[in-house]
Amino acid sequence: MESLSASNAEAFELPPYVADSYIDLKQLPDGRYIGTVRLLYHWTMHIDIDDVGYADRYCFATYELAKKAFDEWSGVGDPEGWHRHPTSGRRKDLTTGREWVDF
């Protein structure tokens, strides 16, 4: 799973306007695209990116946590280091490992 910078949009089957919006972008073995992007106060990893959006995302406190998850995640289960999963409403305290649902 080689990670290419989003500036290499031609390497992906995504329009440049999509690929260029990600800091990191790669294709998982199952064919889904994942990418990291900065939001106002945190970083996210988008899952199953296509030309109209994405199917899921995980939130991270820092770029370092998002990048580590991006580099290491196989696409199965949850990536490591997330603190919020908006789709499920789950939140996670990284210090204690405690998880809860908070919509």
**pLDDT tens digits along 23-33:** 999 999 999 99
CA angle 34, 6, 23 (to 5 degrees): 70
The pLDDT of residue 102 = 86
**pLDDT tens digits along 58-67:** 999 999 999 9
Q: What is the mean pLDDT of the chain?
A: 91
- Is the predicted pLDDT of residue 9 greater than 70, yes or no? no
The pLDDT of residue 13 = 86
Measured over the CA atoms of residue 46, residue 35, residue 26 and residue 16, the dihedral's sign is positive
